[in-house]
Amino acid sequence: MVQFDLAARPLRELNAALHALPLNTNETHWEIINPDGKHAIAAGLDAPVTVEIKGNAGYYCAGMNQVATVVVHGNAGVGVAENMMSGRVHIRGDVSQSAGATGNGGLLIVEGNASGRCGISMKGIDIVVKGSIGPMSAFMAQAGNLVVLGDAGEALGDSIYEARLFVRGTVKSLGADCEEKTLGADERAILAGLLAEAESDASVDEFRLYGSARKLYHFHLDNADAY
């Protein structure tokens, strides 16, 4: 295992070292100590390595991740795993706003709560939040799955295109063009798979599914007078 102390060496050195790893690297396990909320820790990884961050990470941790596994033993700041392509990002604590924003793929697991705008503009990422999520989550979501074991804040799924939003608790309000959907066999299988991946024993039966009413896809001639 490679240990890197962010109190002793600069962040750029860490990220440069991680970026330089070849796909067949033998240095597959990294431990980062004293993160102290620094920004962009382990962003832009593209090798199959595991990076464990021992403490709290700041903004944009594990952004743009591809194939790597990043575990934060603490909280993460704004935009964790933003634009993730593949791989796995696991946060042991809470996350700030815009977690998993614009993510294309991979799995983001949050053991605690997520703040507002969780999964904003998600494009294929899977997100499992074991606590609750804040307001305006899954805004303009396009593809992927958001699973919430707790509650969702105001305006869930506002202006959603596609994407499945599974919520076990209460939803404070739904955003424009977001509606409850029937939880069919296909959706139940997807949900069960994600719960298993996130090592949750929650029952599929406890969830409700929300998605797009698809009424904003096309311009309605009836609205012409409004412009």
Partner 1 sequence: MCGIAGIFLKNPALEPRLGAMLSDMMAVLSDRGPDSAGFAIYGRGDADRRKVTLRGDSAAAVIAAVEGIGTELPGMVTEFRDSHAVVSIPVGDEAKLRALAATAGVQVVGTGERMEIYKEVGLPQSVSERFGLAQMSGTHAIGHTRMATESAVTTKGAHPFSTGGDQCLVHNGSLSNHNGVRRELIRQGIRFETDNDSEVAAGYLTQKLREGVGLREALQESLADLDGFYTFVVGTEKGFAVLRDPIACKPAVMAETDDYVAFGSEYRALAVLPGIETARVFEPEPATVYAWERH
Q: Is 116 in the site for partner 1 (CB under 8 A)?
A: yes
Strands 107-110 and 88-91: parallel
Nearest to 137 by CA among 96, 107, 109: 96
Nearer to partner 1, 119 or 134 (CB): 134
Near partner 1 by CB under 8 A, which window of 10-18, 22-30, 72-80, 190-198?
72-80
Nearer to partner 1, 39 or 208 (CB): 39
Largest CA distance in the chain: 65
178 in Cβ contact with 141 (< 8 Å): no
Nearer to partner 1, 8 or 226 (CB): 8
Nearer to partner 1, 42 or 107 (CB): 42
Q: Is 79 in the site for partner 1 (CB under 8 A)?
A: no
87 in Cβ contact with 108 (< 8 Å): no
Nearest to 196 by CA among 99, 107, 114, 82: 107
Q: Applying CB under 8 A, which of residues 11, 42, 78, 107 lies at the interface with partner 1?
A: 78
Shortest Cβ 170–partner 1 spacing (Å): 16
Strands 143-148 and 178-181: unpaired
Q: Is 59 in the site for partner 1 (CB under 8 A)?
A: yes
- What stretches of the chain show up as alpha helix (H) in DSSP? 11-19, 185-197
Shortest Cβ 156–partner 1 spacing (Å): 14
Q: Is 136 in the site for partner 1 (CB under 8 A)?
A: yes
CA 106/CA 103 separation, integer angstroms:
8
Q: Is 135 in the site for partner 1 (CB under 8 A)?
A: yes
Near partner 1 by CB under 8 A, which window of 83-91, 131-139, 183-191, 214-222?
131-139
Q: Applying CB under 8 A, which of residues 106, 134, 157, 175 lies at the interface with partner 1?
A: 134
CA 16/CA 13 separation, integer angstroms:
5
Question: Strand, coil or helix: what is 192?
Answer: helix
Q: Applying CB under 8 A, which of residues 102, 115, 121, 137 lies at the interface with partner 1?
A: 115
| Phi, psi dihedral angles at 114 (to 5 degrees) | -115, 145
Q: Is 149 in the site for partner 1 (CB under 8 A)?
A: no
The binding site for partner 1 (CB under 8 A) comprises 36-38, 56, 58-59, 75, 77-78, 93-94, 96-97, 115-116, 134-136
